[in-house]
Amino acid sequence: GNKPANSPKGQPPDADGHSSVTDLANSLTGDMVMLSPGSEDDDGEGPVSEKLGRIQFSIGYSFQNTTLTVKVLRGQELPAKDFSGTSDPFVKIYLLPDKKHKLETKVKRKNLNPHWNETFLFEGFPYEKVRERTPYLQVLDYDRFSRNDPIGEVSIPLNKVELGQLKTFWKELKPCSDGSGRRGDLLDKRVEKKKTVVMKRCLNPVFNESFPFDVPAHVLRETTIIITVMDKDRLSRNDVIGKIYLSWKSGPAEVKHWKDMLARPRTNVAQWHSLKA
């Protein structure tokens, strides 16, 4: 999908300190859910229930060839992860506890109900070893320019499956719990900080500077942009003039700006805001 990646870590201020006027920072909270503009929680608080779709797959074992077969069939009602309102899903297959080796399906472009119909063979596994393994399927949204975005996962311990002929399962996807998609990894962290140039001896400055921030679409709902206007002091600490907080849950003017931004992707949306102490 055409979506931005996780933001890089904060940048240190310039050594000479000549660029501290505006402080932009993103704060991500644990529930990384992207809702369409105008959506609200039932009570305005707490986690939002995620619908991650489901996946169909088959598992079988050949005692004669000591080979485990995992067939990834299709996905259904996957969530949109891209700004365009769709996803480019593919599946990674692991045989836990081995996390080093993985197999992958092809990417299905712009498809929330993909059909993969791909077969994967894990050869040379005696039955007693196979019973100790757990096939783990992770569905991701492909991004050619940055990190792939996890959609959901399923796993099925083979000691709970009657191995033999190919057996087909439908499983609801759950939020990813491994390192690539753990919810809360960016909890309360400042992701990035950028500054404008200093406008000297000016009470009506015109900056006209742009700052790109790479934020995955699915975390925008829990992202806050803090804009701090400061008075530069070369000899002592800079004085804060005022701030604005842009997010889904700020004041009415800020929320309107945020919703306008979400409704018009890849478009610069300008609006005046009053600074707050």
Q: Say how many Å lie between the first and final Cα of the chain, rounded.
A: 39
154 and 78, same domain (yes or no): yes
What count of residues does the chain have? Answer: 277
- Hey, how many other C-beta atoms are within 10 angstroms of the C-beta on 241? 12
**Alpha-carbon distance 193 to 215, whole Å?**
13
Contacts of 116 (CB under 8 A, 6+ apart): 72, 73, 74, 75, 90, 91, 105, 106, 108
Shared-domain flag, residues 194 and 236: yes
Q: What is the dihedral of CA 19, 22, 27, 32, to 10 degrees?
A: -110
Residue 269 forms part of a structural domain: no
SS3 112: coil
Query: 129 with 201, same domain?
Result: no
Q: Considering 121, 139, 172, which residue would you say is the last residue of a domain?
A: 172
Task: Write down the pLDDT at residue 22.
Answer: 36
Q: Are residues 137 and 63 in the same domain?
A: yes
- Looking at the fold, whether 145 and 97 belong to one and the same domain comes out as yes
Single out the residue in 102, 137, 172 at which a domain terminates: 172
Last residue of a domain, one of 122, 149, 172: 172
> Could you tell me the CA-to-CA distances from 106 to 70, 89, 118, 151, 249 in Å, in that order?
15, 8, 8, 16, 38
CATH code: domain of residue 236: 2.60.40.150
Per the structure, the complete domain to which residue 251 belongs is given by: 22-47+185-263
Do residue 74 and residue 162 come from a single domain?
A: yes
Query: Is 9 part of any domain?
Result: no
Cα separation, 93 vs 82, in Å, equals 23
d(CA 134, CA 203): 64
* pLDDT for residue 55: 96
Residue 228 lies in a domain: yes
Q: Determine, yes or no, domain membership for 17.
A: no
Residues 58 and 41 placed together within one structural domain of the fold: no
Number of domains, the chain: 2
**Single-letter code of the amino acid located at 263:** A
> Are residues 42 and 62 both part of a single domain?
no
What is this structure's pTM? 0.51
136 and 75 in a common domain: yes
d(CA 183, CA 266): 27
pLDDT values of the chain reduced to their tens digit, one per residue, 277 residues = 544 444 343 333 333 333 333 333 333 222 222 222 333 333 333 344 568 899 999 999 999 899 999 999 999 999 887 766 788 999 999 998 888 788 999 999 999 999 999 999 998 889 888 889 999 999 999 876 667 888 999 999 998 888 888 899 999 999 887 444 333 333 344 566 778 888 888 889 888 888 777 777 767 777 888 888 888 887 777 788 888 888 877 788 888 898 888 888 778 889 998 888 7
How are strands ordered across the β-sheet holding 149-155? 98-104, 89-96, 134-141, 149-155
What's the one-letter identity of residue 241? I
**Do 137 and 66 belong to one domain?**
yes
Q: Are residues 112 and 161 in the same domain?
A: yes
Considering the domain boundaries, does residue 180 fall inside one? no
Same domain, 221 and 237: yes
